[in-house]
């Protein structure tokens, strides 16, 4: 049974009987939403009814015709032979996106206060069918992702005390003890192959059989492609499968930027923009947009037509490269360029901490792999997979430019923690603590 960080938030909602909103748990397919909700309901001995609108499509008309709590109870008790108990029952509706306007009608169900409601759905359906348009205050949302690296460590048997030690090292900018550092790098290397899809991690934890892990990953990729096919039929302007399949090859290139010409000569951004947005909304791809300047506000400096596209899960990415690449990763063959794979792991980790992601490129300054915005600060990041992690002209140029007012910049690689001026070298596995330990400027009071 996997440990997930979202568990405590779901448990808090279940146990707070004064909660005046429904709970929506969203995320990409196969990230463990249904399993975790069910686990939390059972752990709290909740009285609940679970319905899945994809597995039980005959229930869709039941919900579509629901105009009152009375309708809901009568129809579901008849369909499911289930007895609702006022003040106790939680109705768990999985794949809620199959009933387009159900979330917009959640207000009258919540206001009745007879029962409580947990809704779960894929990000793609929720985004595209407008399910977030519920009245303000009537819907709380938890977004789930593949397991991030901290979750992977916990499920791999790393004690919480060790993770706290790593956090303390980051906070104090002091090196990690070498034996611990080497063990964490070993875990990180395995994470590059296993990734964070719950079924793949569970198989890894159970058997350490990478062949079985790989089979699970291939099945998930095929499931995604089936989803893409359905939406492509609905909207013939979309090129979801073609774009998704390009991610792995684009990340092998030197600059990682998505080149439309590789798909089709003469293809322009406008033809693919909807596909990028859909893949992002589905939670299966992570776009990183170009920012024209590394300064606040990055969203105002965004140039949408220039972007990098990363897989939502690094394990699904390396699965597509085949056995030879996976063996090179696990054997830590330093002759193989793993730059794009390292970057994907970093993008995935930052995305799980809800950072909007940007990169910066200038003929004069060079290219920064990522730029983050936190408060009133911009944080440049460069990712290095080899031994030359101290060669980083772009991050040096940007950090030394007084116009950008950079407080601290990070180089992420196989190195240990070391601080030199404004640049801090970090083991790549400590990306998980950037949100927690970035330094923000202290503002002077306005007199």
Which pLDDT tens digits describe the chain residue by residue (447 residues)?
Answer: 899 999 999 999 999 988 889 999 999 999 999 999 999 999 999 999 999 999 999 999 989 888 889 999 999 999 999 999 999 999 999 998 888 778 777 888 999 999 999 999 876 554 544 545 556 678 898 999 999 999 999 999 999 999 999 999 999 999 999 999 999 999 999 999 999 999 999 999 999 999 999 999 999 999 999 989 988 888 888 899 999 999 999 999 888 889 887 888 878 888 898 899 889 988 999 999 999 999 888 988 888 889 999 999 999 999 999 999 999 999 988 777 899 999 999 999 999 999 999 999 998 999 999 999 987 889 999 999 988 888 888 999 999 999 999 999 999 999 999 999 999 999 999 999 999 877 544 444 444
Which residues, listed in sequence order, are joined to residue 373 by a DSSP beta bridge?
Answer: 378
Q: pTM, whole model, 2 decimals?
A: 0.92
Closest CA to 169 of 421, 350, 430, 410: 430
Q: What contacts 24+ positions apart, CB below 8 Å, involve 86-89?
A: 86/114, 86/115, 87/114, 88/47, 89/47, 89/48, 89/49, 89/115, 89/116
Helix (H) or strand (E) holding 424: strand 423-427
Question: Does residue 176 contact residue 169 with C-beta atoms inside 8 Å?
Answer: yes
Please, what are the domains in the chain? 6-144 (3.40.50.300), 149-437 (no CATH)
Beta bridge partners of 419: 424
Contact 69, 76 (CB under 8 A): no
Give me the half-sphere count of Cα atoms (radius 13 Å) on the Cβ side of residue 73. Answer: 14
pLDDT (0 to 100) of residue 123? 65
Which residues lie below 8 Å from residue 95, measured CB to CB, with a gap of 6+?
Answer: 52, 53, 54, 55, 120, 121, 122, 125
The DSSP line for 19-60 is --SEEEEEESTTSSHHHHHHHHHHHTT--EEEEETTT-GGGH
């Amino acid at each position: 049974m996997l440990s997930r960080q979202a568990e405590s938030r779901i448990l808090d909602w279940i146990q707070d009987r004064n909660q005046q909103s429904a709970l929506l748990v969203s995320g990409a397919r196969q990230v463990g939403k249904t399993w975790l909700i069910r686990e939390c309901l059972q752990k709290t001995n909740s009285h609940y009814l679970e319905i899945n609108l994809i597995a039980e499509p005959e229930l869709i008309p039941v919900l579509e015709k629901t105009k009152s709590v009375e309708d809901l109870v009568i129809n579901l008790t008849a369909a499911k032979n289930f007895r609702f108990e006022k003040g106790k029952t939680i109705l768990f509706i999985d794949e809620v996106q199959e009933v387009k306007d159900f979330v917009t009608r959640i207000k009258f169900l919540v206001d009745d206060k007879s029962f409580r409601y947990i809704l779960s759905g894929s990000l793609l359906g929720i985004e595209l069918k407008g399910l977030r348009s519920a009245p303000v205050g009537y819907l709380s949302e938890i977004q789930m992702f593949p397991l991030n690296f901290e979750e992977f460590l916990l499920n791999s048997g790393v004690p919480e005390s060790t993770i706290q030690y790593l956090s303390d090292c980051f906070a104090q900018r002091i090196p990690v003890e070498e034996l611990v550092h080497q063990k964490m790098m070993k875990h990180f290397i395995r994470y590059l192959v296993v990734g964070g899809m719950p079924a793949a991690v569970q198989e890894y934890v159970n058997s350490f059989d990478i062949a079985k892990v790989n089979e699970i990953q291939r099945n998930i990729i095929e499931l995604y492609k089936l989803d893409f096919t359905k939406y492509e039929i609905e909207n013939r302007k979309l090129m979801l499968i073609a774009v998704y399949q390009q991610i792995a090859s684009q990340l092998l290139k030197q600059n990682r930027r998505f080149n439309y010409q590789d798909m089709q000569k003469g293809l322009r951004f406008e033809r693919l923009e909807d596909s990028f947005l859909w893949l992002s909304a589905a939670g299966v791809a992570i776009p990183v947009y170009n920012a024209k300047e590394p300064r606040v506000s990055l969203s105002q400096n965004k140039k949408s037509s220039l972007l990098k596209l990363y897989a939502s899960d690094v394990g699904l990415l390396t699965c597509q490269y085949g056995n030879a690449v996976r063996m090179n990763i696990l054997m830590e063959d330093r002759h193989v360029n793993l730059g794009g794979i390292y970057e994907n792991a970093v993008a995935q980790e930052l995305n799980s901490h809800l950072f909007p992601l940007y990169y910066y490129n200038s003929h004069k300054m060079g290219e920064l792999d990522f730029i983050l915005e936190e408060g009133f600060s911009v944080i440049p990041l460069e990712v290095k997979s080899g031994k030359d992690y101290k060669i980083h002209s772009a991050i040096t140029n940007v950090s030394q430019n007084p116009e950008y007012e950079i407080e601290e910049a990070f180089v992420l690689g196989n190195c240990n923690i070391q601080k030199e001026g404004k640049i801090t070298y970090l083991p790549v596995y400590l990306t998980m603590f950037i949100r927690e330990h970035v330094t923000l400027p202290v503002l002077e009071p306005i007199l």
